[in-house]
A and B are shown apart, each in its own frame.
Chain A
Amino acid sequence: MVEAPRLHRREVVATLLHDRGDLAVVAGLGATAWDVAAAGDHPLAFPLWGAMGGAAMVGLGLALAQPARRVLVVTGDGELLMGLGGLATIAAQRPRNLRVVVLDNEHYGETGRQPTHTARGTDLAAVALACGFPHARTVRDAGEIEALRADVHRRDDLFLAVVKVALTDDPMVLPPRDGVYLKHRLRSALLGSAAMLE
């Protein structure tokens, strides 16, 4: 019997984004976007408010366009399940600067806590490996988060990590929701003010 997950998503994200440097972050809609906002709103963050299933592919586009910069996609199990094919697309490109962290609470937390497929056996790290990801693992213990943080900031290869987190009710911390603002803010941070004159 698998032990109930104990990690707290807010603490995990806060650790991963502590002293974040020039890491670019794409956050999937819902709880992961609030987690990323709770770690501190940042010009290099692009929280999605919709486009479910698209977070990893937005990350791929950003990673391909910015090959010298590490790009982190943080998303949930439900969001990733909606775009599973994207894992195969990403693995086929193998961008060394892209990393995907899935906060897996095994539920659709925003919509009434219905169980997702990960509650019934789907192993997203195994899916990623089967799609051709060179590295993927599932993290269950607090003692593994520092190593994950090191990988996020320093590893020079594509990987996916599933972090099993508790099903919690966390205070909502909302990032900006104007998409045009978020777009210009990230482009200005990445490309300088000249990006606004294109």
Chain B
Amino acid sequence: MGQRDHWAHDIYDVFKAYAIAIVSHVPDAGHSRLIDLCASDAAMRVVPLSTEEEGVALAAGAYLGGQRAVLLMQSSGAGNCINMLSLIKACSFPFLTLVTMRGEFGEFNPWQVPMGQAVPATLAALGVIAQRVDAPGDARDTVDGAAGLAFGSSCAVAVLLSQRLVGAKRFGEG
């Protein structure tokens, strides 16, 4: 796969189309290319977080000030967000997060499985609409639709980037 053909570029293009100004993250190897693309864009501010719920509150504050933010995290972070998602729901803030999944396809680390498997139920509990990407060719349309739903209809939307898409991590890769 060529550099430009990677699905991360498709997602970055969608971020540009929706004028995403703030990209917060707790890093994940699966997001690293997208984070690099955003960091090299002078129109985007990349905000590293110490824990994922910070990115939920940050997105709310950014929207209050007229900017759109996206939170990048891995599946283990979804549970960390749960009470902070009250803020999104109580105020009907638009909210978009991209979640790289662990604990599913080919997972080698059993400690990733409990939270990874609980992500859809965790998000659903706070009213976050989850949409899944399994094939690289679907990333652009799915993220585009998710951003439209989030920012057009003031919804909370998560795109789950499946472990099959991101690539199952193997032992020794971190």
Contact = CB atoms under 8 A, between A and B. Distances in A.
A66 B83 CA distance: 26
Contacts of A86: 50, 54, 57
Given A49-B90, A179-B90, A182-B91, A61 B57 contact: yes
A65 B91 contact: no
Given A65-B61, A86-B54, 11 more contacts: A58-B58, A58-B60, A58-B87, A64-B62, A66-B65, A85-B51, A89-B48, A89-B54, A92-B48, A93-B47, A183-B64
A180 B69 CA distance: 18
Interface string A64-86: 11100000000000000001011
A50 B86 contact: yes
Contacts of B64: 46, 58, 61-62, 65, 183, 186-187, 190
B70 interface: no
26 contacts: A48-B87, A50-B86, A51-B83, A53-B53, A54-B57, A54-B60, A54-B87, A58-B58, A59-B61, A60-B61, A61-B22, A61-B57, A61-B62, A61-B65, A61-B67, A62-B61, A64-B22, A65-B63, A83-B57, A92-B47, A92-B48, A93-B45, A179-B90, A179-B92, A183-B93, A186-B64
Interface string A158-182: 0000000000000000000001101
Contacts of A179: 87, 90-92
A23 interface: no
B23 to A, nearest CB: 11
Ranked 9 nearest A-B pairs via Cβ: A61-B61, A65-B65, A85-B50, A179-B91, A54-B57, A57-B57, A65-B67, A61-B62, A58-B61
Contacts, number: 119
- Interface size, B (range): 20 to 34
A48 B67 CA distance: 20
Given A61-B65, A62-B64, A65-B66, A88 B50 contact: yes
B56 interface: yes
A198 B151 CA distance: 9
B159 to A, nearest CB: 21
A57 B63 CA distance: 12
A85 to B, nearest CB: 3
A191 interface: yes
B66 A64 contact: no
A169 to B, nearest CB: 27
A180 B91 contact: yes
Query: Most chain-A CB neighbours within 10 Å: which of B91, B93, B151?
Result: B91
A14 interface: no
B84 A51 contact: yes
Judged by DSSP, the binding face of A is helix
Given A183-B91, A191-B66, A61 B86 contact: no
A46 B91 CA distance: 11
A130 interface: no
A65 B19 CA distance: 13
Nearest to A187: B64
A17 interface: no
